[in-house]
Amino acid sequence: MNKFVKIIAATAVLASATFAADYTIKFSHVVSANTPKGKAADYFAKRVKELTEGRVEVKVFPSSQLYTDKAVMKALKIGNVQMAAPSFSKFTSLVPQLQIFDLPFLFKDVNHVHAAMDGEVGKAMKDLVTKKGFVALSYWDNGFKHLSSNKKALIEPKDAAGQKFRIMSSKVIEAQFLAVKANPQVLPFSEVYSALQQGVVDAAENPLSNFYTKKFYEVQTDLTLSSHGYLGYLVVMSKKFWKKLPADLKPKIMQAMDEATAMNRKLAAELEASYLAKIKAYADKTGKLKIHTLSDAQKEAWRKVTAVVYPDFYKVIGEDLIKKAQE
């Protein structure tokens, strides 16, 4: 009996070795696993394994377990990771045209954003990124950004004056807050909670998924549903790794990416409503957070003040691309 058990165990070990992946992809990202990006990354890993019949394994590392978005760019270049999904702002030193997605109040709604991404504007951006040593695979949603503060409710543009805002590294976002006389400060996403808690910064802009999953509601007193800017991610792969992949595997990986992108967009829409309900429940229960919705007139006031930054980026982004995105 013992001999039989040993034979079965040895066979299992041999089978495991036989079906080991030919290629391993380490996929690093900075947000929680239960965000739209996190869930899409896990789904992508699952579909890659299924479509390639185990020849490719994707290992996902969420919540900056491996790298921050800034550090991951170098890690991709030297091959320490093979995939990442940084925010657009992490590419702007290489492809400044990607700052188009940071322009305040440029997009009316998520359908408008997708039309730009899936069309001529989005293709032009991906081509530019690919020329810089990365393979641009797809755009993923996180949602529209909203304003929050622990100093003063942000209802009118003048309310932002003097407040210290945490921002991503982006000249457009910096200009956006300077236009309302605020004090923008660049900080890594992993440091935002502690910075708000300790008063290093007063305010921030985040989609509801980040605001809820990172518990920013604990360290902010006011949330304004401004939908003033879009936050998305560009999923990229190391060009060096992509070139190593056999031709028969690349279409399967792209199919998995297309499916993950569709899932990401669906989840982002569903989760935004879910997160808002949870944030409202927290606000009602504790009384520690006030939620404000801008009227059309109030939103127009913000748009007018911040739209003055557009011409400053005509040469950098391209006036034609900005107008095509608007259309």
Given this model, what pLDDT does residue 3 score? Answer: 56
Nearest to 230 by CA among 261, 262, 209, 207: 207
The ranges assigned to domains in the chain are 2-326
Question: Interhelix angle for 171-179 vs 296-306, to 10°?
Answer: 120
Would you say residue 6 has pLDDT above 60? no
Give percent above pLDDT 70 in the chain: 94
Structure tokens at 36: 């739209």
Given this model, what pLDDT does residue 2 score? Answer: 55
Would you say residue 326 has pLDDT above 90? no
Which pLDDT tens digit goes with each residue over 257-284?
999 999 999 998 998 899 999 999 999 9
Which pLDDT tens digit goes with each residue over 167-212?
988 889 999 999 999 999 999 988 999 999 999 999 999 999 889 9
End-to-end Cα, the chain, rounded Å: 74
Rounded to two decimals, what is the model's pTM? 0.79
CATH code for the structural domain at 2-326: 3.40.190.170
Q: What are phi and psi of 94, to 5 degrees?
A: -90, -45
Reduce the DSSP state of residue 314 to 3 states and report it.
Answer: helix
Would you say residue 226 has pLDDT above 60? yes
Q: Mean pLDDT over residues 29-41, rounded?
A: 92
Are β-strands 203-206 and 134-149 bridged in parallel, bridged antiparallel, or unpaired? antiparallel
Cα–Cα distance for residue pair 13/178, rounded to 1 Å: 61
Which pLDDT tens digit goes with each residue over 73-92?
999 999 999 999 998 878 98
Confidence of residue 12 (pLDDT cuts 50, 70, 90): very low
Q: Where are the beta strands (DSSP E) in 100-202?
A: 134-149, 164-167, 183-186
